[in-house]
């Protein structure tokens, strides 16, 4: 083992002085070419001892190995780092770190689903009000600052759905179909912000196809409303026909039969920009 002067080392496998095994020391003299030993000042000793490098372990290297390979320690360290930094920076360090990052449930408690182009947008510099009911004014990076992990629709298949408690969907209307195709049912979802459903359900030329889109979203909300506590969505959808006129108006869910919701923000027609509390 290469042991430069100043290195902190741990002693081991000593036969003549077994009491020193496990003690810590500092290399104070370089290797003697004739004896092949280095001078080590061992804790509790007054003078340096000439020892073979084979009986020394680099304490710093051992500590680095512990950091890189101890999953429990990695989780403790990673918990203080923003989710998007863990996913985008720390997971690229090595395979062990990548495995540790992506196996943390808290990484996925809050996610924002977006397209790859949206990741390139800059964070707004103006003063921003916090809160779910103001979120639509800002892009996905704002939500990342709030602790949400950015994910593409195709990534949702690889996420344990039971980990997700807060969900932001800020896709372009034409991409919402990808979300529905990829997203599992989230059994513990408590907060949801979903933008542009109204545009998605009026984007097809055929009114019947728009109706099918609306029905798909109705099923999605039927599956998730039992656990939802906070919701921001356009509940009133105006389905457009082939002539460009409104053919039908439907609701995603019946507001009167949702006792579990503590807060609800509705967009569209009469309820634009209204925040209501049900507690």
Tens-digit pLDDT string for the chain (279 aa): 667 889 899 999 999 999 999 999 999 999 998 999 999 999 999 999 999 999 999 888 777 777 667 777 777 777 777 777 777 777 777 787 788 788 888 889 999 888 766 655 534 444 333 333 333 444 555 666 667 888 888 889 888 999 999 999 988 888 899 999 999 999 999 999 888 888 888 877 677 888 888 899 999 999 999 999 998 888 888 777 767 777 778 888 887 777 677 877 766 433 333 334 444
pLDDT score of 150: 81
The pLDDT score that the predictor gives to residue 88 is 72
pLDDT of residue 89: 74
Rounded CA separation 279/277 (Å): 6
Alpha helices in the chain (DSSP H): 59-69, 71-78, 83-88, 95-102, 140-145, 176-182, 197-200, 207-224
Same domain, 240 and 272: yes
Residue 176 token pair: 């919402």
CA 28 to CA 246: how far, in whole Å?
A: 85
H-type alpha helices, 70-175: 71-78, 83-88, 95-102, 140-145
Verify that 259 and 138 share a domain, yes or no: yes
3-state percent breakdown (helix, strand, coil) of the chain, nearest 5:
40, 20, 40
Question: How many distinct structural domains can be found in the chain?
Answer: 3
| 171 within a domain of the structure (yes/no) | yes
**Residue 260 in contact with residue 276, Cβ under 8 Å?**
no
d(CA 126, CA 133): 17
Whether residue 90 is found in the same domain as residue 116? no
Domain's final residue, options 79, 104, 129: 104
- 100, 113: one domain: no
Domain extent, residue 214, equals 109-277
Q: Is residue 147 domain-shared with residue 125, that is, in the same domain?
A: yes
The reply to whether 45 falls in a domain is yes
Quote the CA–CA distance of 122 and 142 in Å, as a whole number: 9
Rounded to a whole number of angstroms, the distance between the first and last alpha carbons of the chain is 67
Cα angle 196-186-183, degrees, rounded to a multiple of 5: 55
Please indicate, yes or no, whether the overall pTM of this predicted structure exceeds 0.75: no
């Amino acid at each position: 083992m290469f042991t430069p002067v100043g290195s902190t080392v741990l002693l081991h496998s000593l036969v003549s002085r077994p009491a020193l095994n496990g003690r810590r020391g500092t290399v104070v003299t370089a290797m003697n070419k004739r004896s092949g030993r280095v001078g080590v000042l061992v804790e509790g000793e007054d003078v340096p001892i000439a020892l073979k490098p084979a009986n020394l372990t680099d304490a710093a290297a051992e500590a680095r190995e512990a950091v890189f390979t101890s999953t429990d320690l990695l989780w403790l360290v990673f918990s203080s780092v923003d989710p998007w930094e863990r996913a985008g920076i720390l997971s690229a360090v090595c395979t062990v770190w990548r495995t540790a990052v992506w196996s943390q449930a808290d990484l996925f408690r809050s996610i924002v689903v977006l397209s790859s182009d949206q990741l390139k947008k800059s964070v707004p510099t103006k003063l921003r009000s916090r809160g779910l009911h103001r979120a639509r004014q800002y892009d996905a990076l704002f939500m990342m600052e709030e602790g949400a992990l950015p994910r593409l629709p195709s990534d949702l298949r690889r996420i344990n759905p039971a980990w997700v408690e807060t969900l932001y969907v800020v896709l372009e209307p034409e991409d919402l179909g990808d979300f529905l195709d990829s997203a599992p049912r989230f059994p513990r979802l408590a907060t949801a912000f979903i933008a542009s459903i109204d545009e998605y359900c009026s984007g097809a030329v055929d009114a019947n196809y728009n109706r099918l889109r609306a029905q798909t979203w109705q099923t999605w909300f039927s599956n998730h409303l039992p656990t939802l506590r906070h919701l921001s969505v356009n509940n009133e959808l105006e389905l457009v026909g082939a002539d460009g006129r409104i053919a039908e108006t439907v609701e995603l869910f019946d507001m009167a039969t949702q006792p579990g919701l503590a807060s609800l923000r509705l967009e569209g027609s009469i309820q634009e920009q209204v925040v209501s509390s049900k507690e």
